Structure 1
Protein backbone atom coordinates (compact mmCIF):
# COMPACT_ATOMS: atom_id res chain seq x y z
CA UNK A 1 0.00 0.00 0.00
CA UNK A 2 1.18 3.55 -0.69
CA UNK A 3 0.99 5.42 2.62
CA UNK A 4 1.94 9.03 3.27
CA UNK A 5 3.45 10.24 6.53
CA UNK A 6 3.41 14.01 6.99
CA UNK A 7 6.27 15.15 9.20
CA UNK A 8 9.89 14.20 9.81
CA UNK A 9 10.18 14.31 13.61
CA UNK A 10 10.83 11.39 15.91
CA UNK A 11 7.20 10.25 15.99
CA UNK A 12 6.83 10.37 12.23
CA UNK A 13 10.07 8.44 11.82
CA UNK A 14 8.75 5.63 14.01
CA UNK A 15 5.82 5.20 11.61
CA UNK A 16 7.98 5.60 8.49
CA UNK A 17 10.38 2.87 9.57
CA UNK A 18 7.63 0.48 10.69
CA UNK A 19 5.55 0.94 7.54
CA UNK A 20 8.59 0.28 5.38
CA UNK A 21 9.38 -2.81 7.45
CA UNK A 22 5.83 -4.04 6.81
CA UNK A 23 6.36 -3.69 3.07
CA UNK A 24 4.42 -0.49 2.38
CA UNK A 25 5.60 2.15 -0.07
CA UNK A 26 6.15 5.17 2.16
CA UNK A 27 5.96 8.77 0.97
CA UNK A 28 7.13 11.35 3.48
CA UNK A 29 5.97 14.95 3.46
CA UNK A 30 7.78 18.02 4.79
CA UNK A 31 7.31 21.78 4.34
CA UNK A 32 10.53 22.27 2.40
CA UNK A 33 12.39 19.12 1.31
CA UNK A 34 15.56 21.01 0.41
CA UNK A 35 15.71 22.71 3.80
CA UNK A 36 14.97 19.44 5.59
CA UNK A 37 17.81 17.66 3.77
CA UNK A 38 20.19 20.58 4.34
CA UNK A 39 20.00 20.35 8.13
CA UNK A 40 23.15 19.01 9.76
CA UNK A 41 22.42 19.46 13.47
CA UNK A 42 20.02 17.54 15.74
CA UNK A 43 16.69 19.23 16.47
CA UNK A 44 15.56 20.56 19.87
CA UNK A 45 14.69 17.01 20.96
CA UNK A 46 18.11 15.68 19.96
CA UNK A 47 16.78 13.87 16.89
CA UNK A 48 19.39 13.33 14.19
CA UNK A 49 19.06 15.19 10.87
CA UNK A 50 16.52 13.59 8.55
CA UNK A 51 19.14 13.10 5.84
CA UNK A 52 20.91 10.61 8.12
CA UNK A 53 17.62 8.82 8.77
CA UNK A 54 16.98 8.51 5.02
CA UNK A 55 20.44 7.04 4.50
CA UNK A 56 19.55 4.33 7.01
CA UNK A 57 16.18 3.65 5.36
CA UNK A 58 16.64 3.31 1.59
CA UNK A 59 13.50 3.38 -0.51
CA UNK A 60 11.80 6.18 1.44
CA UNK A 61 10.80 9.14 -0.72
CA UNK A 62 10.75 12.74 0.58
CA UNK A 63 8.26 15.22 -0.89
CA UNK A 64 6.39 18.36 -0.02
CA UNK A 65 3.31 17.78 2.14
CA UNK A 66 1.05 18.02 -0.90
CA UNK A 67 3.04 15.69 -3.12
CA UNK A 68 3.30 13.08 -0.36
CA UNK A 69 -0.46 13.17 0.23
CA UNK A 70 -1.11 12.91 -3.51
CA UNK A 71 1.14 9.83 -3.74
CA UNK A 72 -0.90 7.99 -1.11
CA UNK A 73 -3.52 5.58 -2.40
CA UNK A 74 -5.84 6.17 0.52
CA UNK A 75 -4.12 6.47 3.89
CA UNK A 76 -2.21 9.44 5.33
CA UNK A 77 -0.70 9.78 8.82
CA UNK A 78 -0.44 13.28 10.23
CA UNK A 79 2.72 13.96 12.22
CA UNK A 80 2.66 17.75 11.75
CA UNK A 81 2.89 19.60 15.07
CA UNK A 82 -0.47 20.53 16.53
CA UNK A 83 0.06 24.28 16.40
CA UNK A 84 0.65 24.20 12.63
CA UNK A 85 -1.50 21.25 11.57
CA UNK A 86 -4.75 22.95 10.51
CA UNK A 87 -2.97 25.55 8.37
CA UNK A 88 -0.63 23.04 6.75
CA UNK A 89 -3.37 20.49 6.05
CA UNK A 90 -5.84 23.06 4.72
CA UNK A 91 -3.26 24.06 2.13
CA UNK A 92 -3.29 20.51 0.71
CA UNK A 93 -7.02 19.84 1.02
CA UNK A 94 -7.33 18.74 -2.61
CA UNK A 95 -4.59 16.12 -2.25
CA UNK A 96 -6.26 14.77 0.91
CA UNK A 97 -9.78 14.62 -0.54
CA UNK A 98 -11.37 11.18 -0.27
CA UNK A 99 -8.55 9.79 1.86
CA UNK A 100 -8.31 8.67 5.47
CA UNK A 101 -6.16 10.94 7.62
CA UNK A 102 -5.01 9.49 10.95
CA UNK A 103 -4.11 12.39 13.22
CA UNK A 104 -2.01 11.97 16.36
CA UNK A 105 -1.06 15.62 16.93
CA UNK A 106 -1.52 17.26 20.33
CA UNK A 107 -2.69 20.91 20.22
CA UNK A 108 0.10 22.25 22.42
CA UNK A 109 0.92 25.93 22.86
CA UNK A 110 4.51 26.02 24.08
CA UNK A 111 5.84 28.45 26.70
CA UNK A 112 2.36 29.65 27.66
CA UNK A 113 1.82 32.67 29.87
CA UNK A 114 -0.46 31.10 32.50
CA UNK A 115 -1.36 32.14 36.02
CA UNK A 116 -0.50 28.79 37.60
CA UNK A 117 2.30 27.20 35.56
CA UNK A 118 3.10 23.48 35.77
CA UNK A 119 6.91 23.15 35.94
CA UNK A 120 8.45 20.28 33.98
CA UNK A 121 12.03 19.14 33.22
CA UNK A 122 11.96 21.29 30.06
CA UNK A 123 10.11 24.34 31.40
CA UNK A 124 6.43 25.17 31.78
CA UNK A 125 3.99 22.46 30.66
CA UNK A 126 2.48 23.44 27.30
CA UNK A 127 -1.12 24.62 27.22
CA UNK A 128 -3.78 22.72 25.29
CA UNK A 129 -5.66 24.86 22.78
CA UNK A 130 -8.35 23.88 21.89
CA UNK A 131 -9.52 22.11 25.01
CA UNK A 132 -12.78 20.91 26.62
CA UNK A 133 -15.28 22.25 24.06
CA UNK A 134 -13.34 21.43 20.88
CA UNK A 135 -10.36 19.39 19.71
CA UNK A 136 -7.65 19.59 17.10
CA UNK A 137 -9.07 16.48 15.45
CA UNK A 138 -12.46 18.16 15.02
CA UNK A 139 -10.86 21.35 13.73
CA UNK A 140 -8.98 19.36 11.12
CA UNK A 141 -12.19 17.60 10.08
CA UNK A 142 -14.05 20.92 9.72
CA UNK A 143 -11.18 22.29 7.64
CA UNK A 144 -11.13 19.13 5.48
CA UNK A 145 -14.77 18.13 4.87
CA UNK A 146 -13.78 15.83 1.99
CA UNK A 147 -11.29 13.90 4.14
CA UNK A 148 -12.10 11.14 6.64
CA UNK A 149 -10.29 12.16 9.82
CA UNK A 150 -9.53 9.58 12.51
CA UNK A 151 -7.94 10.50 15.83
CA UNK A 152 -5.65 7.78 17.14
CA UNK A 153 -2.12 7.02 18.39
CA UNK A 154 -2.27 10.18 20.55
CA UNK A 155 -2.40 8.45 23.95
CA UNK A 156 1.00 6.81 23.53
CA UNK A 157 4.56 7.55 22.50
CA UNK A 158 4.83 6.84 18.77
CA UNK A 159 7.73 4.42 19.28
CA UNK A 160 5.32 2.33 21.35
CA UNK A 161 2.43 2.79 18.90
CA UNK A 162 4.46 0.99 16.24
CA UNK A 163 5.80 -1.59 18.70
CA UNK A 164 3.17 -2.23 21.39
CA UNK A 165 4.86 -5.39 22.63
CA UNK A 166 7.71 -3.25 23.95
CA UNK A 167 5.43 -2.55 26.94
CA UNK A 168 3.81 -5.36 28.91
CA UNK A 169 4.10 -7.70 25.91
CA UNK A 170 1.46 -5.56 24.21
CA UNK A 171 -1.19 -5.93 26.92
CA UNK A 172 -2.49 -2.35 26.81
CA UNK A 173 -5.18 -0.38 24.98
CA UNK A 174 -5.20 1.93 21.96
CA UNK A 175 -8.14 4.13 20.93
CA UNK A 176 -9.66 5.36 17.67
CA UNK A 177 -12.37 7.96 17.00
CA UNK A 178 -13.84 9.40 13.81
CA UNK A 179 -17.08 10.07 11.98
CA UNK A 180 -16.54 7.45 9.26
CA UNK A 181 -16.77 3.81 10.39
CA UNK A 182 -14.76 2.52 7.42
CA UNK A 183 -11.97 5.00 8.14
CA UNK A 184 -11.90 3.94 11.79
CA UNK A 185 -11.59 0.35 10.60
CA UNK A 186 -8.64 1.33 8.40
CA UNK A 187 -6.92 2.73 11.48
CA UNK A 188 -7.76 -0.39 13.48
CA UNK A 189 -6.37 -2.62 10.72
CA UNK A 190 -3.15 -0.60 10.67
CA UNK A 191 -2.85 -0.87 14.45
CA UNK A 192 -3.34 -4.63 14.27
CA UNK A 193 -0.56 -4.83 11.70
CA UNK A 194 1.62 -2.95 14.21
CA UNK A 195 0.81 -5.66 16.77
CA UNK A 196 -2.06 -4.18 18.77
CA UNK A 197 -4.51 -6.74 20.15
CA UNK A 198 -6.68 -4.35 22.20
CA UNK A 199 -8.09 -1.43 20.18
CA UNK A 200 -11.14 0.35 21.59
CA UNK A 201 -13.34 2.13 19.03
CA UNK A 202 -14.67 5.22 20.83
CA UNK A 203 -16.98 6.19 17.98
CA UNK A 204 -17.50 9.82 16.89
CA UNK A 205 -14.69 12.32 16.49
CA UNK A 206 -15.86 14.38 19.46
CA UNK A 207 -14.05 11.73 21.53
CA UNK A 208 -10.80 13.22 20.26
CA UNK A 209 -11.25 15.80 23.02
CA UNK A 210 -10.66 13.17 25.68
CA UNK A 211 -7.69 11.66 23.87
CA UNK A 212 -5.99 15.02 23.42
CA UNK A 213 -6.63 16.12 27.01
CA UNK A 214 -5.09 12.85 28.22
CA UNK A 215 -1.73 14.26 27.09
CA UNK A 216 -1.29 15.99 30.44
CA UNK A 217 -2.03 12.78 32.34
CA UNK A 218 0.42 10.92 30.13
CA UNK A 219 3.09 13.45 31.09
CA UNK A 220 2.23 13.20 34.79
CA UNK A 221 2.58 9.41 34.71
CA UNK A 222 5.84 9.72 32.82
CA UNK A 223 7.27 12.11 35.40
CA UNK A 224 6.27 9.76 38.21
CA UNK A 225 7.84 6.72 36.55
CA UNK A 226 10.96 8.56 35.46
CA UNK A 227 11.32 10.69 32.35
CA UNK A 228 11.77 8.48 29.28
CA UNK A 229 10.13 5.40 30.78
CA UNK A 230 7.81 3.72 28.30
CA UNK A 231 4.44 2.59 29.65
CA UNK A 232 0.95 1.73 28.49
CA UNK A 233 -2.59 2.18 29.73
CA UNK A 234 -5.21 -0.56 29.71
CA UNK A 235 -8.98 -0.43 29.88
CA UNK A 236 -9.97 -3.35 32.12
CA UNK A 237 -13.47 -4.60 31.33
Structure 2
Protein backbone atom coordinates (compact mmCIF):
# COMPACT_ATOMS: atom_id res chain seq x y z
CA UNK A 1 0.00 0.00 0.00
CA UNK A 2 1.11 3.57 -0.65
CA UNK A 3 1.07 5.38 2.69
CA UNK A 4 1.92 9.02 3.45
CA UNK A 5 3.07 9.99 6.93
CA UNK A 6 2.71 13.70 7.63
CA UNK A 7 5.30 15.00 10.07
CA UNK A 8 8.94 14.21 10.78
CA UNK A 9 8.97 13.84 14.57
CA UNK A 10 9.81 10.79 16.63
CA UNK A 11 6.31 9.30 16.27
CA UNK A 12 6.27 9.65 12.51
CA UNK A 13 9.65 7.94 12.35
CA UNK A 14 8.30 4.97 14.30
CA UNK A 15 5.55 4.49 11.74
CA UNK A 16 7.90 5.02 8.80
CA UNK A 17 10.23 2.26 9.98
CA UNK A 18 7.43 -0.15 10.84
CA UNK A 19 5.48 0.37 7.63
CA UNK A 20 8.60 0.04 5.50
CA UNK A 21 9.45 -3.22 7.26
CA UNK A 22 5.93 -4.48 6.44
CA UNK A 23 6.50 -3.83 2.75
CA UNK A 24 4.50 -0.63 2.29
CA UNK A 25 5.61 2.20 0.02
CA UNK A 26 6.10 5.08 2.45
CA UNK A 27 6.35 8.78 1.75
CA UNK A 28 7.02 11.31 4.51
CA UNK A 29 5.47 14.76 4.21
CA UNK A 30 6.83 18.01 5.62
CA UNK A 31 6.13 21.71 5.07
CA UNK A 32 9.45 22.43 3.37
CA UNK A 33 11.83 19.53 2.71
CA UNK A 34 14.86 21.78 2.27
CA UNK A 35 14.27 23.43 5.65
CA UNK A 36 13.66 20.07 7.31
CA UNK A 37 16.85 18.56 5.90
CA UNK A 38 18.90 21.66 6.78
CA UNK A 39 18.20 21.35 10.51
CA UNK A 40 21.19 20.16 12.48
CA UNK A 41 19.99 20.54 16.06
CA UNK A 42 18.34 17.95 18.29
CA UNK A 43 14.80 18.94 19.23
CA UNK A 44 13.71 19.65 22.87
CA UNK A 45 12.61 16.02 23.29
CA UNK A 46 16.01 14.71 22.22
CA UNK A 47 15.04 13.68 18.68
CA UNK A 48 17.93 13.82 16.21
CA UNK A 49 17.71 15.90 13.01
CA UNK A 50 15.55 14.27 10.35
CA UNK A 51 18.41 14.24 7.85
CA UNK A 52 20.26 11.78 10.10
CA UNK A 53 17.21 9.53 10.24
CA UNK A 54 16.61 9.68 6.49
CA UNK A 55 20.23 9.05 5.50
CA UNK A 56 20.10 5.40 6.53
CA UNK A 57 16.68 4.66 5.03
CA UNK A 58 16.85 4.61 1.25
CA UNK A 59 13.27 3.37 0.92
CA UNK A 60 11.79 6.61 2.27
CA UNK A 61 10.95 9.72 0.26
CA UNK A 62 10.57 13.19 1.78
CA UNK A 63 8.17 15.51 -0.05
CA UNK A 64 6.03 18.59 0.65
CA UNK A 65 2.71 17.72 2.29
CA UNK A 66 0.57 18.02 -0.85
CA UNK A 67 2.93 15.95 -2.99
CA UNK A 68 3.28 13.27 -0.31
CA UNK A 69 -0.48 12.82 -0.04
CA UNK A 70 -1.35 13.08 -3.73
CA UNK A 71 -0.41 9.48 -4.54
CA UNK A 72 -1.17 7.94 -1.17
CA UNK A 73 -3.93 5.43 -0.49
CA UNK A 74 -3.82 6.05 3.26
CA UNK A 75 -2.52 9.00 5.26
CA UNK A 76 -1.24 9.15 8.84
CA UNK A 77 -1.29 12.59 10.43
CA UNK A 78 1.52 13.31 12.86
CA UNK A 79 1.58 17.09 12.39
CA UNK A 80 1.66 18.86 15.76
CA UNK A 81 -1.81 19.68 17.01
CA UNK A 82 -1.40 23.45 16.95
CA UNK A 83 -0.69 23.44 13.21
CA UNK A 84 -2.47 20.34 11.92
CA UNK A 85 -5.73 21.91 10.73
CA UNK A 86 -4.00 24.73 8.85
CA UNK A 87 -1.47 22.38 7.23
CA UNK A 88 -4.10 19.83 6.19
CA UNK A 89 -6.45 22.52 4.91
CA UNK A 90 -3.62 23.87 2.76
CA UNK A 91 -3.25 20.44 1.12
CA UNK A 92 -6.88 20.74 0.03
CA UNK A 93 -10.12 18.83 0.36
CA UNK A 94 -9.91 17.77 -3.30
CA UNK A 95 -6.51 16.11 -2.80
CA UNK A 96 -7.66 14.27 0.32
CA UNK A 97 -11.19 13.43 -0.85
CA UNK A 98 -12.09 9.79 -0.30
CA UNK A 99 -8.82 8.99 1.47
CA UNK A 100 -8.47 7.48 4.92
CA UNK A 101 -6.71 9.94 7.23
CA UNK A 102 -5.61 8.44 10.54
CA UNK A 103 -5.03 11.26 13.02
CA UNK A 104 -2.91 10.67 16.11
CA UNK A 105 -2.08 14.30 16.90
CA UNK A 106 -2.79 15.76 20.34
CA UNK A 107 -4.15 19.35 20.38
CA UNK A 108 -1.43 20.61 22.70
CA UNK A 109 -0.72 24.29 23.25
CA UNK A 110 2.79 24.56 24.60
CA UNK A 111 3.96 26.96 27.33
CA UNK A 112 0.40 27.88 28.29
CA UNK A 113 -0.25 31.00 30.33
CA UNK A 114 -2.55 29.44 32.92
CA UNK A 115 -3.10 30.15 36.64
CA UNK A 116 -1.97 26.76 37.96
CA UNK A 117 0.63 25.20 35.63
CA UNK A 118 1.55 21.53 35.95
CA UNK A 119 5.36 21.20 36.24
CA UNK A 120 6.98 18.20 34.56
CA UNK A 121 10.62 17.16 34.00
CA UNK A 122 10.50 18.74 30.52
CA UNK A 123 8.69 21.96 31.51
CA UNK A 124 5.09 22.99 31.99
CA UNK A 125 2.52 20.44 30.82
CA UNK A 126 0.89 21.71 27.61
CA UNK A 127 -2.77 22.72 27.68
CA UNK A 128 -5.36 20.98 25.53
CA UNK A 129 -7.29 23.12 23.04
CA UNK A 130 -9.90 22.22 21.86
CA UNK A 131 -11.32 20.32 24.79
CA UNK A 132 -14.72 19.09 26.06
CA UNK A 133 -16.99 20.33 23.26
CA UNK A 134 -14.74 19.65 20.27
CA UNK A 135 -11.65 17.71 19.22
CA UNK A 136 -8.79 18.17 16.80
CA UNK A 137 -10.02 15.26 14.72
CA UNK A 138 -13.48 16.80 14.41
CA UNK A 139 -11.90 20.09 13.35
CA UNK A 140 -9.93 18.23 10.68
CA UNK A 141 -13.06 16.44 9.46
CA UNK A 142 -14.96 19.73 9.19
CA UNK A 143 -12.08 21.34 7.31
CA UNK A 144 -11.84 18.32 4.98
CA UNK A 145 -15.42 17.09 4.63
CA UNK A 146 -14.61 14.59 1.87
CA UNK A 147 -11.72 12.92 3.71
CA UNK A 148 -12.38 9.94 5.97
CA UNK A 149 -10.89 10.88 9.34
CA UNK A 150 -10.18 8.25 12.00
CA UNK A 151 -8.80 8.98 15.45
CA UNK A 152 -6.37 6.25 16.43
CA UNK A 153 -2.90 5.60 17.88
CA UNK A 154 -3.27 8.63 20.20
CA UNK A 155 -3.66 6.78 23.52
CA UNK A 156 -0.18 5.20 23.38
CA UNK A 157 3.34 6.36 22.76
CA UNK A 158 4.01 5.74 19.07
CA UNK A 159 6.86 3.39 19.94
CA UNK A 160 4.23 1.17 21.54
CA UNK A 161 1.67 1.66 18.76
CA UNK A 162 4.06 0.09 16.26
CA UNK A 163 5.23 -2.58 18.72
CA UNK A 164 2.47 -3.65 21.13
CA UNK A 165 4.49 -6.72 22.07
CA UNK A 166 6.89 -4.39 23.88
CA UNK A 167 5.07 -5.26 27.12
CA UNK A 168 4.23 -8.83 26.20
CA UNK A 169 0.56 -8.36 27.03
CA UNK A 170 -2.78 -8.21 25.24
CA UNK A 171 -3.46 -4.55 25.92
CA UNK A 172 -6.07 -2.27 24.36
CA UNK A 173 -6.00 0.41 21.69
CA UNK A 174 -8.89 2.49 20.37
CA UNK A 175 -10.35 3.82 17.13
CA UNK A 176 -13.15 6.32 16.48
CA UNK A 177 -14.64 7.80 13.33
CA UNK A 178 -17.72 8.35 11.22
CA UNK A 179 -16.69 6.13 8.28
CA UNK A 180 -16.85 2.36 8.93
CA UNK A 181 -14.54 1.53 6.03
CA UNK A 182 -11.94 3.99 7.32
CA UNK A 183 -12.08 2.53 10.81
CA UNK A 184 -11.64 -0.90 9.26
CA UNK A 185 -8.55 0.33 7.41
CA UNK A 186 -7.12 1.66 10.69
CA UNK A 187 -7.99 -1.61 12.42
CA UNK A 188 -6.31 -3.64 9.69
CA UNK A 189 -3.18 -1.53 10.03
CA UNK A 190 -3.16 -1.97 13.79
CA UNK A 191 -3.52 -5.73 13.40
CA UNK A 192 -0.53 -5.73 11.06
CA UNK A 193 1.37 -3.95 13.85
CA UNK A 194 0.45 -6.80 16.18
CA UNK A 195 -2.59 -5.47 18.05
CA UNK A 196 -5.31 -7.97 18.98
CA UNK A 197 -7.52 -5.90 21.31
CA UNK A 198 -8.82 -2.98 19.24
CA UNK A 199 -11.87 -1.25 20.72
CA UNK A 200 -14.15 0.76 18.39
CA UNK A 201 -15.41 3.74 20.43
CA UNK A 202 -17.96 4.76 17.81
CA UNK A 203 -18.36 8.11 16.10
CA UNK A 204 -15.67 10.77 15.83
CA UNK A 205 -17.13 12.53 18.86
CA UNK A 206 -15.19 9.96 20.92
CA UNK A 207 -11.96 11.60 19.74
CA UNK A 208 -12.60 14.18 22.48
CA UNK A 209 -12.09 11.57 25.17
CA UNK A 210 -9.14 10.02 23.38
CA UNK A 211 -7.37 13.37 23.13
CA UNK A 212 -8.21 14.39 26.70
CA UNK A 213 -6.74 11.10 27.91
CA UNK A 214 -3.32 12.53 26.99
CA UNK A 215 -2.96 14.15 30.41
CA UNK A 216 -3.81 10.91 32.23
CA UNK A 217 -1.40 9.04 29.99
CA UNK A 218 1.35 11.51 30.90
CA UNK A 219 0.55 11.21 34.60
CA UNK A 220 0.82 7.42 34.51
CA UNK A 221 4.00 7.56 32.46
CA UNK A 222 5.59 9.96 34.93
CA UNK A 223 4.57 7.75 37.85
CA UNK A 224 6.00 4.63 36.19
CA UNK A 225 9.02 6.32 34.68
CA UNK A 226 8.45 4.92 31.20
CA UNK A 227 6.07 3.53 28.59
CA UNK A 228 3.18 1.22 29.47
CA UNK A 229 0.01 -0.37 28.11
CA UNK A 230 -3.58 -0.32 29.33
CA UNK A 231 -6.17 -3.08 29.21
CA UNK A 232 -9.96 -2.63 29.17
CA UNK A 233 -11.50 -5.48 31.13
CA UNK A 234 -14.97 -6.39 29.88
Residue 109 (structure 1) aligns with: 109
In 1, Cα distance between the equivalents of 2:104 and 2:85? Answer: 13
User: Conserved in 2, the CA contact under 8 Å of 1:148 and 1:183?
Assistant: yes
User: Conserved in 2, the CA contact under 8 Å of 1:170 and 1:197?
Assistant: no
User: Conserved in 2, the CA contact under 8 Å of 1:69 and 1:95?
Assistant: yes
Residue 2 (structure 2) aligns with: 2
Residue 229 (structure 2) aligns with: 232
- Aligned-pair distance for 1:52? 1.2
In 1, Cα distance between the equivalents of 2:124 and 2:29? Answer: 30
Residue 15 (structure 1) aligns with: 15
Post-superposition CA distance 1:188-227 (Å, at most 9, x none): 000000000100011100000000000000010011111x
Work out the number of aligned pairs and report it: 233
In 1, Cα distance between the equivalents of 2:121 and 2:22? Answer: 36
Alignment of 1:88 onto 2:87: yes
SS at match of 2:231: coil
Dislocated runs of 4+, deviation >2 Å:
none
Comparing 140-149 and 86-95, the one that deviates more: 86-95
Q: Which runs of 5+ in 1 are unaligned?
A: none
User: Conserved in 2, the CA contact under 8 Å of 1:162 and 1:194?
Assistant: yes
User: Conserved in 2, the CA contact under 8 Å of 1:170 and 1:196?
Assistant: no
- Aligned-pair distance for 1:56? 1.6
Q: Which runs of 5+ in 2 are unaligned?
A: none
Within 5 A, what are the aligned runs for 1:190-201? 190-201=189-200
SS at match of 2:82: helix
- Aligned-pair distance for 1:170? 3.9
In 2, Cα distance between the equivalents of 1:207 and 1:71? Answer: 29
- Aligned-pair distance for 1:117? 1.3
Normalization by structure 2: what TM-score?
0.98
User: Conserved in 2, the CA contact under 8 Å of 1:27 and 1:71?
Assistant: no
**CA separation of 1:146/1:159 partners in 2, compared to 1, >3 Å: closer, same or farther?**
same
- Aligned-pair distance for 1:142? 0.4
Within 5 A, what are the aligned runs for 1:21-36? 21-36=21-36
Residue 149 (structure 2) aligns with: 149
Normalization by structure 1: what TM-score?
0.97
SS at match of 1:82: coil
SS at match of 1:28: strand
Comparing 118-127 and 195-204, the one that deviates more: 118-127
In 2, Cα distance between the equivalents of 1:38 and 1:52? Answer: 11
In 1, Cα distance between the equivalents of 2:29 and 2:123? Answer: 30
- Aligned-pair distance for 1:46? 1.4
